[in-house]
Amino acid sequence: GVMEKLGLGPEVLLRENPRLIYARLTGFGQTGKYAKSAGHDINYLSLSGVLSKLGRKNENPYAPINLLADFAGGGVMCAMGIVIALFERARSGKGQVIDASMVKGVAYLSSFLWKSQHLGLWSQPRGENLLDSGAPFYETYRTSDGKFMAVGALEPQFYKQLIKGLGLNLDELPAQMSFSDWPEMKKKFASVFAQKTQAEWCSIFDSTDACVTPVLSFDDVASHQHNKIRSSFIKNDQGEVSPRPAPVLSRTPAVPSHKRDPFIGEHTVEILLEYGFTKQEIAKLYSDKVIEFKNPKANL
C-alpha cells in the first residue's frame, strides 16, 4: 500500500500508460495475514517451508545467509516475471502487474523438493538424506590445513573414483547406499581427508570424475586456475574483486564495468535532471525525504 499512499499505485499508472509493466516485489505478498508485517529472508524462508529442510541432523534449521529468499525467490523471480510480461506485451500490447512475493518465489524455486518427495530423496528426517549432509559421499570435509573439500560423488562410477582417490578399498567398505552405515562412513572419510592439505587433495582429485573440489574462500576464488581461465571474476579500478556478469550471451554478452560501485545517492540529481525534473522539484523531493543525495549542497 506504500505506492497507493503516494498516488502511484498500479491502477493509477496503468490508466496513464496501459503498456506499463508494474513489478511489486515484497516479502509476504500484497495480500494475506502477514502482508503488512515486517520480515526478512529467514522469515520468508520459514513460511515457504524451505527452511524446515535446511540444516544438519539434530540441529536447528539454518538459513544460508540471505541468498535464497531475497535474491533467488525475490529478485531473480521478479526479474523473470518482468521478462515474461515483456514477452506477453509484445503479443497483446498490454502491460500488467507482477506480484512477486519472496515466500511464493522461494517456494516455487523449491518445486523439486515437492515433486521428489516420493522418490526416496527426502524420506528421512532433516540431515539424514542423500543431498542434505546425510550421505558420506555428498558432504564437506576438513583438511589438515584447516580448509575444506566438497564431495558430490553420487553416481556409482563417481563414487568408485572417490574411494580410489581416498586410498580405500571398495570391496572392504559397506555398499554405497547402505543408509545404516552412512554415519560410520562419514567418520572414516573425515579421518582420511584430515590427513592431507587441501592442495594435496586437489592434486589427487583434479582431472578426475570423483566430484571432489576445494571449498574456495573469497580470497582464493579469483586466483583458482579454472576461474582464471573462465574469467569468472573481475577487479574494479580500486582492486576490489567481484563476479563477472552471468550468464554469458554469445552475441550480446554483458560488458562488465571496472569502475567502483556508485555511492548511495551519487547520481540522483543527474538522473532526475535528465528526466526533466527541475532543481526546485528535486530539492522538494529531498526535503520530503523521498530521495537521497550523496552531497546535496554540491549538487543543487
* pLDDT tens profile 208-240: 999 999 999 999 999 999 999 999 999 999 999
* Same domain for 108 and 54: yes
Question: What CATH number is given to the structural domain containing 75?
Answer: 3.40.50.10540
Name beta bridge partners: 27: none
Task: Give the domain extent around 182.
Answer: 138-215
* Same domain for 204 and 157: yes
User: pLDDT tens digits, residue range 145-163?
Assistant: 999 999 999 999 999 999 9
3-state SS track over 182-223: HHHHHHHHHHHHCCCCHHHHHHHHCCCCCCEEECCCCCCHHH
* Same domain for 154 and 246: no
Cell 543543487, located at residue: 300
Identify whether 295 is part of a domain.
Answer: yes
Within 13 Å and on the Cβ side, how many CA atoms surround 19? 7
pLDDT confidence tier of residue 298, bands split at 50, 70 and 90: very low
- Whether the pLDDT of residue 1 is over 90: the answer is no
Task: Check 40, 226, 258, 267 and give the catalytic one.
Answer: 40
Cell numbers found for residue 223? 586466483
* Same domain for 267 and 200: no
Task: Check 41, 70, 219, 224 and give the catalytic one.
Answer: 70
Q: How many domains does the chain have?
A: 4
* Polymer length in residues for the chain: 300
Q: What are phi and psi of 262, to 5 degrees?
A: -70, 150
Residue with the larger pLDDT of the pair 3 and 175? 175
Q: Which residues are CB-neighbours of 2 under 8 A, at least 6 positions away?
A: none
Residue with the larger pLDDT of the pair 6 and 95? 95
Q: What are phi and psi of 152, to 5 degrees?
A: -135, 45
* Same domain for 268 and 284: yes
70 is catalytic: yes
User: pLDDT tens digits, residue range 102-145?
Assistant: 999 999 999 999 998 888 888 889 999 999 999 999 999 999 99
Cell numbers found for residue 191? 579421518
* Same domain for 104 and 29: yes
CA 9, CA 22: separation in Å to the nearest integer? 9
- Whether the pLDDT of residue 9 is over 90: the answer is yes
* Same domain for 63 and 143: no
CA 296, CA 300: separation in Å to the nearest integer? 6
- Nearest CA to 281 out of 3, 291, 2, 5 is that of 291
User: pLDDT tens digits, residue range 261-293?
Assistant: 888 899 999 999 999 999 999 999 999 999 988
Identify whether 159 is part of a domain.
Answer: yes
Q: Is 135 exposed, middle or buried (0-12, 13-18, 19+ CB in 10 A)?
A: buried
Question: What CATH number is given to the structural domain containing 159?
Answer: 3.30.1540.10
Cell 498490454, located at residue: 94
267 is catalytic: no
* Same domain for 234 and 147: no
Contact by Cβ (8 Å): 103, 42? no
User: pLDDT tens digits, residue range 67-96?
Assistant: 999 999 999 999 999 999 999 999 999 999
CA 71, CA 73: separation in Å to the nearest integer? 6
The reported pTM is 0.86
**How, if at all, do strands 97-101 and 22-26 pair?**
parallel
Q: What is the pLDDT of residue 300?
A: 56
Q: Which residues are CB-neighbours of 257 under 8 A, at least 6 positions away?
A: 236
